[in-house]
Structure 1
């Protein structure tokens, strides 16, 4: 835990709500980016993040400081997102996903074909992620999207490092299978398969 986080936590516990607001500002963007990939919807991720910050505030006195505050907060946010996802099992279509995330492609100087291909691949990966179990999805997002190392993932998910490694391996295999199935289905729809 950073000294700054510790100071803000203590101030919050003494009743300084502005101190907690600073913690929220410090971590909200980073957490939201990860949760969008877990929830497959920016709106759902924002709701999960808000719930997680409320839960963290209510549980703040139980934070023992054994791990970084961000790790503790991340665990709450992921558990919240997964719980919400389990309650809302319905799958959304690609078009609905675009509507919900509100994200439009940015012009980065690439040709139209390259940009469209990259967007299509991103949608395919997102669809494949959506078909994975919550455990596999969470571990892939932590490793591949947020760039967490194995020890950090183990702390967040409260798992032994060996379990993280094996679960990540299985998650990658399942993602590959789902992507293959999506590509095959799209190929047959286009008359190429």
Structure 2
């Protein structure tokens, strides 16, 4: 799996300023627009990497992305439009909830692929204080290839090793910008 931290660039004017990815000395994947992108990271050097590019991020008005429970639910709600098939949901402190009936129900519904029921159960779980840690599934890229992706609450994604950094990943646009992508 290759891991990417997601970012978005806020242009300071209507004039499009191109971000120079070559300055970052790491792999880059982009969404449909270069203002939504992911930088390849190595988990062992995550902190050092972010500290090393912090000035570059600030100078170029680049924001780090994080996922909220609401964003996870909206992502699942729009999964068919995003060519995403949900296969797993994990929660913070999942070990604590392993025998919880609600978690068992959610896991059982994942096998049935009933996103509406999964969303109802997930909304109940979130209102009861559960927090989504990650979701896993398969998505079709713009080359119509199926790839496994895991989306984490900290704004990172892991994609199976066959990542082509020159291709676009429109799923990134939705992860960062949410349902507004479809407006």
From the CA coordinates, give the structure whose radius of gyration is larger.
1
Q: TM exceeds 0.5?
A: no
Which structure has the highest helix share of the two?
A: 1
TM-score of the pair, normalised by structure 1: 0.25
Which structure has the highest strand share of the two?
A: 2
Which protein has greater RCO, CA pairs closer than 8 Å, 6+ apart? 2
